[in-house]
Amino acid sequence: MLNSLLAFVFVLGVLVFVHELGHFLVARMLGVRVITFCIGMGPKILKFKRGETEYAIALLPIGGYVKMAGENPDDPHTGAADEFITRPKWDRFRILIAGPTMNIVLSLVLMTVVLAQGAQVPIFESDPVDVAVVTKGSPAEQSGIRPGDRIIKVGSQRTETWEDFFLAIGGRAERDVPITLLREGRETVITVRPEAQTKMRIGDIGVLPKVHPSIRSLEANGPADKAGLKVGDVVLALDGEPIVFSGQLSAEIRKHPEEAITLQVERAGATLDVQVTPRRQGEIGLIGIGIQDPFRDVQPTLLGAAKMSVERNVQFAGLIVQTLRGLVTRETSPSQLMGPVAIAQLSGDTAAAGWIPLLSFMAMLSLNLGLLNLLPIPVLDGGHIFIMAVEGLARRDLSMKMKERLMLAGFVVLMVLMVTVMYNDLARISLFDRLMPGSR
């Protein structure tokens, strides 16, 4: 718990600092007086003043702000050139857009660093979505999807690859989704309702590609070694059920302590059936093997990593837009939204996995923060930009009363969003899950 909290404070602190730094630097560059630069919200626990600006860290590690002279409508205005409100709209726009822009740039930089380290990429992710396995009892089986079908659309979104498919279906948990298949050369549309998997409620319909894990190591004199399994064997099935991923194989083996199971493996082009009895270790079964999924190694140059970072961020941005659109059209469940508790948990999990997973998580979160701040909701940067755009088109400033109403409306929207994400966070905690309406 403490590690998650520390990781959360670090992650959010960096992202908020970079965001507010963007506003601060452009404001100073344009000659706007900055009164306060604060990271965090609530009472200030550390502060000092340099020049005309007070720098502070507040108690609550959520958010931050840069207060500029003459920024708020109710601030005293002298008409001086160093006040925000007296600057031309173009200057104000540049100050407002600088925060989200810095978050997007940070995402690009962090993802470049991550990709430059190299990665193992699943060999199937860039293949067409040809269904090889339909899991028993899954939404796909219940809807009539069959092995051999090719999925070409999820809703209105084309799915050229498995990566496209997993991204498209993942945001549509517990929502009826029309899926377009290519079956025997003809297009067929089938409605499927993806199940919500894991605490993050990722949508899944139970279709898998044609890949299989292989044995990368054997425990000497372990059950697998004694049964005749070899390093390099590709595991095709367990007791007749197709095996696709290493995690699936491990989970199935664990279910059968001291019970004979039959593994169908491929070795040197031949298919063999090998019977093995997992030994009992506590409540689970083990056969003494190391398993690996089929991957390809990617080791880009720094320039190549930067190019891949741009591509990955464009892909993530598309997913964010898809999620927002889905919330409006009700294709996406609000239960997928995450609040500070879930972010803290993910921060702790990724920090425990190492710096590279943590930086990757920070990159995605920074992109989210940058894009969401551009939404035309008053109170957010995008809302202020939207109001200025309306004023520019109308060629006159909106009345103070109208601006106050817009700000109130934006505040209400944010409060509804905050309540929703906090509800979701609590629902992901088993203790609260049992207390939620409709839980059993």
How far is residue 325's CA from residue 332's CA, in Å, rounded to a whole number?
8
- Asked if 432 and 426 touch (Cβ cutoff 8 Å), the reply is yes
* Contact (CB, 8 A) for 209 and 198: no
Residue tagged active-site, from 20, 71, 83, 331: 20
**How many Å apart are CA 290 and CA 253, to the nearest integer?**
12
195 an active-site residue?
A: no
Asked whether 27 and 66 are in contact (CB, 8 A), the reply is yes
Beta-carbon contacts of residue 302 (< 8 Å; ≥ 6 apart)? 112, 116
Residue pair 19/65 in contact (Cβ under 8 Å)? The answer is no
Q: Report which secondary-structure segment, H or E, holds 42.
A: strand 34-50
What stretch of H or E contains 317?
Answer: helix 302-329
Which string of DSSP letters, residue by residue, matches 248-291?
HHHHHHHT-TT--EEEEEEETTEEEEEEE-PEEETTEEE--EEE
Active site residues: 20
